[in-house]
Structures are given as structure tokens and as C-alpha cells.
Structure 1
Amino acid sequence: MNNQQSNQYPHYQVIIVGGGQAGLSVSYYLQKLDISHIVFEKNRVAHSWRNDRWDSFCLVTPNWQCRLPDFPYQGDDPQGFMLKDEIVEFVEAFAEKINAPLNEGVAVTRVRRGKQGWLEVTTSVGEFTADHLVVATGGYDIPIVPDYAHSLPKHIAQVHSVNYRNPQQLPEGEVLVVGSGQSGVQIMEDLHLAGRKVHLAVGSAPRSPRLYRGRETTEWLYDLGFYNLTVDKHPLGDAVCHKTNHYLSGRSGGHEIDLRKFALQGVRLYGSMNSINGTMLEFKPDLTRNLDEADEVYVRIREEIDRYIAENNIDAPEEPAFEKLWEWKSESGPVRIDADAAGITSIVWAIGFRPDYSWIELPAFDGKGHPRFRRGVSNAEGLYFIGLPWLNTWGSGRFLGIAEDAQYLAGVIHDKLEAVQSQTCTSRRPAVA
């Protein structure tokens, strides 16, 4: 710790907010650069993995992608998929190895620019100042539930995916899962395998193969360089940061998810949720489009792999052409059902989260509250972000890309501190007569 003159509060060169894998990775590189810092974690290390996931949760990316700085996956199943408790153990082991200056149970409630130019940081244990602050809290702060959900009668239970744990948690009866991103489809499958009758409101999320032409698809995509694709080179530009991830599963050794297959097994599919009025549920007439567009992405991924195999003369087994298992009859208008008549007694909302950066009082956000940055470096001097999707590459926000992002930010901070130190030394140097 470096207390500076005219500053009544403890001062650090860097304060890191968030003690998950992203914040700890930044700490690892700051320690190597001998930069004074402290990590504030509101709860415990790996809290979100431990407390905000359902019981059967597992990663959708294989274990070989679980890499933190100088801390690769060390188990005996690189092609497997870590379960929730194994993820917690992995992150905790990394925290123990690097021995970060971690303070658990400390909430950061306010960040603002001080009179001296430092960042003033208010926490649950007092005030601090810093030259730089790294936000490593993720972007999953506020569970999204639409306003119209309030009109649902109280006898129909509602739970957001962040609070879903297992099928036994929900009352007897049929369940509507709203949302077909990674959480939605995996919770749907969890309920379906438990013998529950499930209804699914299908959104616009894309899907991906799990295995293709003799290899796990993520291995092909890694060789193709997809995980190193930077946001500035993506055809969608910054808009890709807000796109939903492809859905598939790591459950039971990993498999792809074809919603048409689940429909044949009894899962009732609808389009996107549109509104609720009492027990009346209304869905948009977009199921056909959403299923088809998800399949189109699925096929494009296969075609990219086919092209790579052909261009590199790789000996790989052939696969039959894609065929739809089942064709949905096009809707002529909104679909309406009565929840009571359908036997639906609970709804699981799996439509995502909103970030909450209201505690940061700096001009660093767009009109929707999303941070503005390049490679995690904010336009607000001294402020940085890490652990977000597409921070720089498709691998950002995953275990696979955290080390590179953390090392880059630590280097930027180091260079800025060195520049300030050099300017200070120059200004104090006596003039030559």
C-alpha cells in the first residue's frame, strides 16, 4: 500500500472490483509487475459459480479450454465438461496458487473522480483511492423479467434462471421455460429428463453442432481461429457484443441440442414470449423463423469446417447432409394459450440479465448503460473492464481468453504508471545552468 501526501484514505495504484477468475487473473499479472493493488470481492471467490447456477449445471465448453494464467486444466478428462462444483474448485485453486491481495465480503458501492484526479472508491469497509480501477464484476447483475409478468396470478410460480436449482423446486404441474439461450435450453432439458411436461418459448438464439466429422466442434473452431477473432474484425462490429451465444450442452459427456428433436419427444414449442394478461399467455408468430435461423447457423458452422478440411487436405470422416427432423407449420398469427387450461403451474424466465454499473460515477457508458471500451480500456481515464463477452475476441469472457485480456490490461496500466513516474521525475529535475 502506498499512502500519498494530502490523501487521508489508503491508496493503491490499482483497485480490482471482483474476485472471480477475471479479477484474479489481472491480479496475477499486476503482482508480476510489482504494482500495488487490492482485490475487493463482495461475496466469496467463485461466488457466481457456486450460488447462481442450477444443481446439474456444467460448462458447454470442454475442459481443455479451462485456462487461467499459468494455470491450465490439470485433470484427466480434457474432453469432458466441468460440473458446477469442479468449476468452483478450479477457481479456488487458482486463487490459492497466486495468493492475491484478496478481501472477501467487501462491497464496492461508489466510484467517482476525486479532486486530486485519483479515483475515490467507497466500500462497505471504508474509503480508498486508486490511480486505476479494474471492473471484473461481469455483466450479469440484474435478472431480466418483463413488466407484464406482474399480471400473472400468484398461483403460478415464477423463478428466474439465476434462482432455478432443480425440477423438485417447482410445484407439480407443467412448466413454461421462456428463452432458448444456453440457460433456457439446458433448464428445459433438465426438466424434461426429470419427467416434467415442458413448454418452451423459443427466441432467436443460434445453435451449434457438438461433434462433427470426427472431432468436437470447438476443436475445429479453435483451429479455424474463431476464438481469436477480434471484435473490430467481426462483420457485426460492436453489435456482436450483445448477441446470444450458440446453444448446446456439456451434460452427460456433451451433445448438441436440436429443439425439433425435443418437440418430437413431447416438449411443446412456441415463438418468442409476447405478453401475459392474467392466465392468458401470448407468443409471437416467429417459431418457424427462429428454428430455421438457428439451423442456418448450425449448417454454416458445418460448412466452415468442411471448407477448412478441404483446404488443408485433412482426412476426416464424411457426415450426411443436414435434414430437419420435423417441420413446424407456419403460424398465421400470435399463439395464445391459457396457462390454467394447459396445466402450467410455473414459469422459468431465462431471458438474460442487465448490467448494473450505477455505482460507477464516470462518463464511461452508452445510453443503455453498457460500458464503452477498446480491449477493456475505458474512455474514462483510469477505468478498465474485464471478463465481458467480446472484450476483445470471441474467447473473451471465457476461461480460454481471460489470460490474454488480463495480461494486456496489466501492461497498459504498467505503461501509464511508468509514464506518470517519468513525468514526475522530469518535473523535479533541477534546471541546468
Structure 2
Amino acid sequence: MTSPAPRQIEVAVVGGGQAGLSISHHLVRRGIDHLVFEKHAAMHVWRTRRWDSFCLVTPNWQCQLPGHPYAGPDPDGFMKKDEILAYLAGFRASFDPPLREGVAVTRVAPRPGGGFDVATSDGAYVAGQVVVASGGYSEPVIPRLAERIPAAVLQLHSEQYRNPQSLPEGAVLVVGSGQSGAQIAEDLHLAGRQVHLAVGNAPRCARFYRGRDVVTWLADMGYYDMPVEQHPLREGVRDNTNHYVTGRDGGRDIDLRRFAREGMRLHGALESLAGTHLTFAPNLRAALDEADRIYNAINASIDRHIAERGIAAPPPSVYTPVWQPAEEEGRSLDLAAAGIAAIVWCIGFRPDFRWLDAPVFNGAGQPRHVRGVTAERGLYFLGLPWLHTWGSGRFSSVARDALHLADRIEAVRHAAAPHDLAVAV
């Protein structure tokens, strides 16, 4: 039996999250034929990978999806999970995206004569251009060490955690102190659970400082408009762990030292397991000190901004530690003796681009691009952390990146342009 001929489309968008729908918004407005392929349901990550008490860690005013800025009653607040879902549903309803939910893209490859072959679970397509909007958080990271954890201990990744009541009675070990790890540890701590937290190298920042949200100060200082090539770390910033802070209950700092003073047990980074005995790196004191150094450094940059512009604001302050670990504290933990009933792995996600058969990756398997534009004509990335600026993977700036790519797509579509059009900034 002869296979049906591939269906022709101008642009294939892979991924139906906020990035995929943002580029779709611009393509719809320009009348550019395209399809958005989403193997699950649109925005599914926000429904399936967030715990019950989840809320934004950035103020609502930063929610600026294209044509759909936040218009609620609390721009300086932090939307909770249900409010986020309602905001995203409103964005989807604000235009009519050509969305194919439940359709997985299994392979994308350049065609010799131009364009791309796109294999999906719903048949074959040929696309003139392709936008990869599947994000950088596809596969949960769980260490091989987890395979040797005793079966009696429940293990789950942060994407599976919902609330303290869903875990068995007993102590809980949270591994990782980035945004998810710190917030889940706090969620369990506030519920009265005995929490052990394996602390990594995540930095922290203040929620409010000198009368305003720190995010608002940093926005005024232009930090969120800084392109990646101007950041002191250049592309290395893409590997950085996000600062931990919370928008819970109107927003506040997360201070792991205060949690320790209240009974949370802090450990260094997890290193090894022998039987039921875990060993942690001797980095706890250094990790806490470095997180506080960054906290104070951010505040000091705000101090300079205030002084240089003569802004009236409450006086400055410097955080001083409220608790210090003993020299050997947090080096070991016996799961059985400590009554550990569950482990929540909060060590992040990795992207999955195995389906993309194109020469656009570096030696570490990361996509090479300039503001999402690759050297492969007509192939783009959108929604990755620091694709262009800090907000590229967030509600705050994905619209700007999507507009940039829509301009490129339209230029390639209409002009008989030289190849370097696809890679110029």
C-alpha cells in the first residue's frame, strides 16, 4: 500500500506551551499557515508538574504574553496555580491557534532541497520552517543512586509532588535547593513534617527590599533587558540555577537558616549511598554562605541604583546569618534511623531534542543559536532559558522573542534572501 503524500505546511511549531502559542499568536496575526503540535495538551506542564500550593515567584505584572498582559486586580501579587491556569486559558482563547493536541513529533530533519520533513504520530508533513518550542524542561532528572534506595521509601520527582498529605507518614528528604526544592521543603515544613534538605549551589534573593519587590527594582535597573551576550557569564548563565524565593502568602524570603533553627535538618549535596546510609558533601556551610553573599550583592546593587538616582527609599540593610551549621553537620543520614518515608528529587529537568535530526547542537548537546535563530535556514528555538534575556523562558519576555522569530520567519518566507539572513542578529 502506498503511503499518503506528506501534508504541506509553511511552519511547524513543536510544543504547545506558552512559547509555542506565543509564536502561533504572531503567525496567526500575519496570516502565515502553520500548525502547533503538542503531544499532550496545551499548557499541560502548568497542570501536571505543579504542586497544590504552587504560585509564581515573579509579580503578576510580568505576565506579558502577546496580546494578553495580566489585567487582574493584583499586579504586584503572585498568581496561584488555578489563577495561572485561568490566565493561560484566557491567552489561548484570545486567538484561535491551529493546535494539534495529542500529536507527538517523532522526527524533524532538513530536506536536501530546503524545508523540513516532519514525522508525527498523525502522519508525515513537509514544513518550510520549524520552530522548536518544546522547552528546556522535558525529562526529569533522577540520579542512578535512586535505583538503590530501599523499596520501602517512596520516591518521586518534584513534578509528581502535590502536597504533604499525599506522602506517607514520617520524615521527608528533599534533594535539591533550587526554586522547586526550597519551596517544596517549605511546604512540608509549614505542614509540620520533619524535613531533611540536601542543599546545592542555588543562590537566593530577597523578596522585598527597601520598600519594593526586588524584581521591580531589577526591572527598573534594566537587568531583565540585558541580552545574554552582555551578561558577565555570557552563555554560561544558561546553566545557572535560579534564585530561590517565594510568592507564597503575598511573597517572602526563603531563609534555609531560619528553617534549620526551627527544626529542618540541612545537609550538603548528596554524594553516595551504602545500604540505608547516605553521605553528603562537606559543602553546607559554604553553600549557605554563598547564597547569602549573592543575596546581599543583589541588594547592594539596588543600593547603588537608589543612591545614583537620589530615590527616596527606606534605609539599606545587610542580611546576617541567624544560624550556622556545626563543622560536621549534615554529612550523613541513615534513612532507617531517621524514619525517612519519602524522598522528593528536586534536581531539575533536561531537554529532549533526540527527535531533531539537524546539525545545530554543540558538543554538550545544547542548541547553538543567536536569539533562537540557528545556522540551519528556517529552524528556530523558542522558550529556552536565556534564549535572549532572563525572561526568555518566562511569561515576561517570551512574547518579545516570539515577535523576533516571527519577523525572521516572514522574511525567509517572502524574500529570496541569502543564507546568512537566517543567522544574522
Do they superpose with TM above 0.5?
Answer: yes
- The answer to whether 1:294 aligns with 2:291 is yes
How far apart in 2 are the matches of 1:339 and 1:91? 41
- The answer to whether 1:312 aligns with 2:272 is no
- The answer to whether 1:151 aligns with 2:148 is yes
Greater mean alpha carbon deviation, residues 291-300 or residues 379-388: 379-388
Q: CA deviation at 1:85?
A: 1.5
Q: For residue 96 of structure 1, what is the amino acid of its counterpart?
A: A
- The answer to whether 1:398 aligns with 2:394 is yes
- Aligned with residue 47 of structure 1, among 40, 44, 48: 44
| Equivalent pair of 1:20/1:91 in contact (CA under 8 Å) | no
- Aligned pairs for 1:135-146 (under 5 A) are 135-146=132-143
Larger Rg: 1
How far apart in 2 are the matches of 1:422 and 1:350? 46
Cα shift readout 1:175-205 (whole Å, capped 9, x = no counterpart): 0000000000000011111110000000000
Root-mean-square deviation over aligned CA pairs: 1.6
How far apart in 2 are the matches of 1:121 and 1:64? 37
- Aligned partner of 1:3 in structure 2 is none
SS state at 1:374 partner: coil
How far apart in 2 are the matches of 1:293 and 1:320? 18
Cα shift readout 1:382-411 (whole Å, capped 9, x = no counterpart): 211111110001121111101110000000
| Equivalent pair of 1:141/1:353 in contact (CA under 8 Å) | yes
- Aligned partner of 1:411 in structure 2 is 407
Q: For residue 76 of structure 2, what is the amino acid of its counterpart?
A: Q
Q: For residue 374 of structure 2, what is the amino acid of its counterpart?
A: S
- The answer to whether 1:229 aligns with 2:221 is no
Cα shift readout 1:348-384 (whole Å, capped 9, x = no counterpart): 0000011110001111112332211110112222211
How far apart in 2 are the matches of 1:395 and 1:307? 23
Cα shift readout 1:19-60 (whole Å, capped 9, x = no counterpart): 111111111111222221111111212100011111111110
- Aligned partner of 1:430 in structure 2 is none
Gaps of 5+ in 1: 1-6, 424-433
- Aligned pairs for 1:3-152 (under 5 A) are 8-152=5-149
Q: CA deviation at 1:327?
A: 2.0
- Aligned partner of 1:383 in structure 2 is 379
How far apart in 1 are the matches of 2:183 and 2:319? 23
- The answer to whether 1:187 aligns with 2:192 is no
How far apart in 2 are the matches of 1:142 and 1:275? 23
Gaps of 5+ in 2: 420-425
Q: For residue 101 of structure 2, what is the amino acid of its counterpart?
A: E
How far apart in 2 are the matches of 1:116 and 1:42? 28
- Aligned partner of 2:359 in structure 1 is 363
How far apart in 2 are the matches of 1:321 and 1:162? 35
| Equivalent pair of 2:296/2:318 in contact (CA under 8 Å) | no
Percentage of matched positions with identical amino acids = 53
| Equivalent pair of 1:202/1:270 in contact (CA under 8 Å) | yes
Q: CA deviation at 1:217?
A: 0.7
Residues 121/175 of structure 1: CA separation in 2 closer, same or farther (3 Å cut): same
Q: CA deviation at 1:422?
A: 11
SS state at 1:185 partner: helix
How far apart in 2 are the matches of 1:31 and 1:247? 37
How far apart in 1 are the matches of 2:300 and 2:181? 27
How far apart in 1 are the matches of 2:170 and 2:297? 38
Greater mean alpha carbon deviation, residues 65-74 or residues 203-212: 65-74
How far apart in 1 are the matches of 2:176 and 2:74? 31
How far apart in 2 are the matches of 1:410 and 1:133? 11
| Equivalent pair of 2:204/2:243 in contact (CA under 8 Å) | yes
Greater mean alpha carbon deviation, residues 394-403 or residues 364-373: 364-373
- The answer to whether 1:211 aligns with 2:213 is no
SS state at 1:248 partner: coil
Cα shift readout 1:101-136 (whole Å, capped 9, x = no counterpart): 111111111111224322000111110011110011
Task: Count matched residues.
Answer: 416
- Aligned partner of 1:268 in structure 2 is 265
